[in-house]
Each structure stands twice: as C-alpha cells, then as structure tokens.
A and B are shown apart, each in its own frame.
Chain A
C-alpha cells in the first residue's frame, strides 16, 4: 500500500515567491496533519484537518501560510510570499479519525528560500 505522498521532495525558491507543497494522505485516513521541522524549533504542528475541515491552525506561523484540503485525498500548504526563515522540512502525516497516536508521516519536502 502507498504511504503518505508528498511533492515536491525538494524546493528551492527565491524570497517573495509563492510556494505550494502537496500531500496525498493514506487512503481511508480522515485526519491530516502538516508539520514543520527545523533545527532550532524541532517538529512543530502547523495545522490539522478532520474530514477535510481545518480543526486547529494555531500552529500556523502567520498569514503568509495557508492550508487547504479540498477533498479526502489531497491537501496543500501554501506560503505566499516566502521568506528565508521559512526554510525547513515540511511533513504531512495522516491517521484514522481519532487516532493521532498512530500518525503516518510522508517523506517530507525540503524547502529552501534564498
């Protein structure tokens, strides 16, 4: 079975550009989580969805970040405009509803903003 799929795996962009990260959760998983990982701050939850509805976006750093989940099999995390301090690895994870203890992580997108 396919795990969580993220694209692109690597993204290099210039400051001010729009960046869109994509995630396909595991089929049948109704909860989806976006995380950011940096050396300084570790693994931080940005936002999570249940049944395509955003439940908690308190981790989203600022208005430049937005996330959508138009259907059960696709989610995006967008940064507009991007800044060098957004450079990090962004992970998407999914789980069965109510099973945050069993989250399956994707391979991550390494974002570099120059």
Chain B
C-alpha cells in the first residue's frame, strides 16, 4: 500500500528557532496536507496544498507541494512553546488520507 516517510521523527529545539520537516512518498498525491496533534486531542488541519510547486503560508507556517508530487515540506519560523505537538503529513488518495508517522516537536523556552 501507499506509505509516507516523514522526517525527522522528533525534534527538540530552542524557542525562536526555525523548524523544518518533510515527507516523501513512492506514490504521487494530488493533495498534500499538514496536521498538528496536541496531547489528548485529534489532529487539526494546518495547511492544504493542491498543486505541484504550490507554496502556502499560514502565519508562521509555510508548506510546499513538491514538483514531483511525491514530497512536501513544512517550515515553522520563530518557534514558540505552543508549537509543541506532533505534526503529520498526509496525502490524499481518492476519498482517503494516508498519514505519515509524525514528527514530535518539543520547544525549550
């Protein structure tokens, strides 16, 4: 089946630093999504990307849809303590989403 490889698995950074994480796939996706999950909650959609090469921002978050349609990255600028959580990439296949394993982000203040 389709699989997404997400990296890094975890990050422990200093408040104020920028963060970068990425996701690759052996399959082509027509939509890439990035979600954040806080402890004890369900994932929440951060950014959706619909076109190869698309670069989209949401506040301090920026995500790009790779031109091969097999990868995507998420950047967080000037991290703050509330950025902690698990970030998931997801690719849309028909009416289903395939999720990466997640990147655990911890921020030292």
Contact = CB atoms under 8 A, between A and B. Distances in A.
Interface of A: 4, 31, 33, 42-45, 48, 50, 55-56, 91, 93, 98, 100-108
Nearest to B1: A58
Contact of A101 (B33, B44, B88, B101): B33
A43 B31 CA distance: 18
A93 B96 CA distance: 11
Nearest to A31: B95
B45 A103 contact: yes
Given A107-B42, A108-B42, A101 B92 contact: yes
B48 interface: yes
Contact of A4 (B33, B40, B42, B102): B42
Contact of B48 (A44, A45, A50, A101): A101
Contacts of B99: 42-44
A45 B102 contact: no
Residue of A43, A48, A105, A108 most packed against chain B (CB within 10 A): A43
Size category of the binding interface on chain B: 20 to 34
B23 to A, nearest CB: 12
A104 B41 CA distance: 12
Contacts of A44: 99
Interface string B78-106: 00000000001000101111111110000
A105 B42 contact: yes
Nearest to A105: B42
Residue of A42, A93, A98 most packed against chain B (CB within 10 A): A42
B95 A93 contact: no
Contacts of A45: 96-98
23 contacts: A33-B96, A42-B99, A42-B102, A43-B99, A45-B98, A48-B96, A56-B95, A56-B96, A91-B43, A93-B42, A98-B95, A100-B92, A100-B94, A100-B95, A100-B96, A100-B97, A101-B33, A101-B92, A101-B97, A104-B45, A105-B44, A106-B42, A108-B42
